[in-house]
A and B are shown apart, each in its own frame.
Chain A
Amino acid sequence: MELVKLLTGAGALLSATGGVLRNRTLITISAAVVMGILVWRSFTFGYPPIFDGFDTLLLFAAVFGITAVFSKADPRLSGVLSGVFIGGALLLPTEVKSIPPIIRTPLFFIHVGSAIVSYALFLSCSLLALFSREAEVIKPFKWGFFLFTVSLLFGALWAFLAWGEIFMLDPKSIFSVGFWLFSAFVFHTLYDEKLKNHTRLMVVFNGLLVIFLFLGVNFLFGGTHEF
């Protein structure tokens, strides 16, 4: 068996054990192991492998584990779920698709990398808001918003340098700005006497929008973000 799969399996077991024993330290160690695998693979391939299912799922699992620990979510739920996500990656191929040299610029990796981590944060918040009532989800949600803002900034900068545009009227760009506005609206609801009671529900809905933005937009509409 490949070393990467052995380490991934170990990470899944650690997380699940942490869940069963209600031990947050084990869940944190599991997330650190998974992050270690991603860093190691980044050095092996020469760029962060964030464009295939295996690494994307591992990244999401690690972000979910860390978010669950910091938001003081139920450790049983977070450990077991994180273990399932890491274990799910074992079913996916570990090969990394080569990306065209023209998009191998630091701007691209910051643009896509920060977007994927922010998606993982938003989805984690969504799951925790749905299943763990005690979890404080707004704090990680705001950091998700910040990382998504970083992604938009570097996307605009790269588009300006590469194509002489700061914004394309393509589905992904339009929905990204719409999603960014909606995320801002979600944490602003805390300042409204009536809406503040529905904030967690909106965090859950925000997670659904992430799935649409990540998987649905390019599939349904196409556009310049298809690569």
Chain B
Amino acid sequence: MSFKSVKLFGVFTALFLIVGFSVSLYERSISGLTELWRNSETFGQVLKISTLFLGGALLLVSTQTLYCRGRGRLDAAIHITAGLSLLLLFLTPFYWHTRTLYLYPYSYVKLNGTTVGLKELTFRNSTITGDFFIEEKKGGKAEGNVSFNRPLISREGFIWIRGISEFNGAPAVEVKFSSFSPVPLLFITLFGVFTILLGVRFLKTGGRDVHSYRGKGAPEADR
């Protein structure tokens, strides 16, 4: 059987769905891919194996997608961007890690030589805005406002506000921090390009039913 086989694609997809069912059944505390490196330590044996198989199925689909290029430049570009997007999804737990921190106004935390701090916290019209900074050992510094749906994205790192709580009368902000990683930005760019190319492809061919045109001279149908 060729690695380009559609049947093989079906097998990989079925594997993903079956293992996905197992992960959904056994995982009780939802984990993001960026926290998987830490949370996986608490996983049971079945969940650990299921997660490994889920990643394996994703890797197989992405490799096959990269290997199958279709015909023409557009088809090739669609398969490459789709395959790379899936590959990046697979690589996310290895190359992009986040940590959850709790900060009070005018406090900071030092993480492996990087200082993450909160200066001011503003409450306005049910919106919370924090004035954050990231300071690197090497001298790089980034500052900016962060609120829900609006993170700080810089070369020095990323900061998100996850929530707010109160301790001894002072507001404590739940913050998610990660060092700079090209993975999420690359994934969104590649998947965005893939989506646009897919739309162009369907617009060009009208997404027509190649099966009904087979043998009637439509070049696509006779491949």
Contact = CB atoms under 8 A, between A and B. Distances in A.
Interface of A: 101-102, 105, 107, 136-140, 142-143, 145-146, 149-150, 152-153, 156-158, 160-171, 174-175, 177-178, 181-182, 184-185, 188-192, 194-196, 199, 217, 221, 223-224
A185 B10 CA distance: 6
A148 to B, nearest CB: 10
A139 B207 CA distance: 5
Q: Is the contact region of chain A dominated by helix, strand, or loop, or is it mixed?
A: helix
B156 to A, nearest CB: 15
A168 B51 CA distance: 13
Given A136-B209, A182-B17, A168 B32 contact: yes
A162 B160 contact: yes
Contact of B160 (A153, A163, A192): A163
B167 interface: no
B145 interface: no
Contacts of B210: 138, 190-191
B95 interface: no
Interface in B31-46: 31-34, 36
Given A163-B176, A174-B23, A196 B211 contact: yes
A143 B202 contact: yes
Contact of B195 (A150, A168, A191): A150
Nearest to B17: A178
Interface of B: 5-7, 9-10, 12-13, 16-17, 20, 23-25, 27, 30-34, 36, 51, 54, 58, 61, 89, 92, 98, 126, 148-151, 158, 160, 162, 176, 178, 184, 187-188, 191-192, 194-195, 198-199, 202, 206-212, 223
A190 B211 contact: yes
A178 B7 contact: no
10 contacts: A146-B207, A150-B195, A162-B148, A164-B151, A164-B176, A164-B178, A166-B89, A169-B31, A174-B24, A175-B17
Closest 10 CB pairs of A and B: A142-B207, A165-B32, A138-B209, A171-B24, A192-B6, A174-B20, A178-B17, A164-B160, A181-B13, A164-B176
Contacts of B98: 164-165
Contacts of B160: 162-164
A191 B6 contact: yes
A165 B149 CA distance: 12
Given A149-B195, A182-B13, A185-B13, A163 B7 contact: no
Given A149-B194, A174-B54, A195-B10, 8 more contacts: A143-B207, A153-B195, A161-B149, A166-B92, A177-B20, A178-B16, A181-B13, A181-B16
A97 B158 CA distance: 34
Contacts of A221: 24-25
A138 B126 CA distance: 47
